[in-house]
Amino acid sequence: MLINDGIFNNYFSLEFTLKKSAMISDTISNRHLYAGLSGRIDAALAYLETTDFKTLPPGRYDLDNDNLFALVQEYNSVPREQAKFECHRKYIDIQYIDEGVEQIGFGKTGKMEVTAEYDPSKDIAFLSGEGDYVTLEKGSFGIFFPDDAHQPKVAPSGVPGEVRKVVIKVRID
C-alpha cells in the first residue's frame, strides 16, 4: 500500500503501524496529538472540533470537493450480527460521534473474507471476519485507514439507540 501525494508528508512510521492495525480512536479534544499526520486529516479534525453539527441537517458537506467531505448521518444502531465490515481504497474514514454511542468493529482487511467485491464507484467492499471493538461516545472519533476493515453502527450491549454521526472522507491519492 502506498499513501503519498501530500496525504502523509512522508510515508514514515505509518508503514510499520499498518502491519498491525493503524486505526486511531480518541476524543476530539486530543486532536492536537495528530497534527501533521496529513494536511487533510488536520483540516478534518479541526472541522469536527469547531462545527456545531446540531445546526446541520443530514447530508453531504464539501470541505475540499471530493478530496475532503463530511457526511452527517442520523440512524439507530443495530445488533452486531446485523452490521457489516467494510473497507475503502480511495478514502480514509474519520467517524465522529456527535450524539449517542456506538461500537465500531475493526480488523485487518487481509485477515477477513470478502463478501461483496470492491465497487470503485462507491469505494467500498464488504467483508466478514473477527475484529476488536471500540466504543465511541459523544465527542470521540475513529480514523480508519484502507487496511482497516471497520464495522460501524454496532449497538453497545446489543441495545439499539439513536446516533448522530459525522463521517469525514479523506481522499488518499
What's the Rg (C-alpha) of the chain?
A: 15
Taking the C-alpha atoms of 46, 75, 117 and 109 in order, what is their torsion angle to the nearest 10 degrees? 50
- Strand locations in 88-161, DSSP E? 91-99, 101-108, 113-119, 124-128, 132-137, 140-144, 148-154
pLDDT for the residue numbered 58: 98
Query: Would you state the pLDDT for residue 128?
Result: 97
Average pLDDT of every residue of the chain: 89
Q: What is the pLDDT of residues 118-170, one digit of tens each?
A: 999 999 999 999 999 999 999 999 999 999 999 999 999 989 999 999 999 99
CATH for 14-171 is: 2.60.120.370
pLDDT exceeds cutoff 90 at 56: yes
CA-based nearest residue to 69, from 77, 78, 59, 60: 60
Please give the torsion angle defined by the CA atoms of residues 129, 133, 139 and 142, in that order, rounded to the nearest 10 degrees. Answer: -50
Confidence of residue 22 (pLDDT cuts 50, 70, 90): confident
Sheet of strand 124-128: strand arrangement: 113-119, 124-128, 85-87, 148-154, 101-108, 132-137
Q: How confident is the model at residue 52 (pLDDT cuts 50, 70, 90)?
A: very high
Measured in whole angstroms, the distance separating CA 9 from the mean position of its chain's CA atoms is 20
Answer yes or no: are the C-beta atoms of 146 and 1 closer than 8 Å.
yes
Does the pTM of the predicted model rise above 0.75?
yes
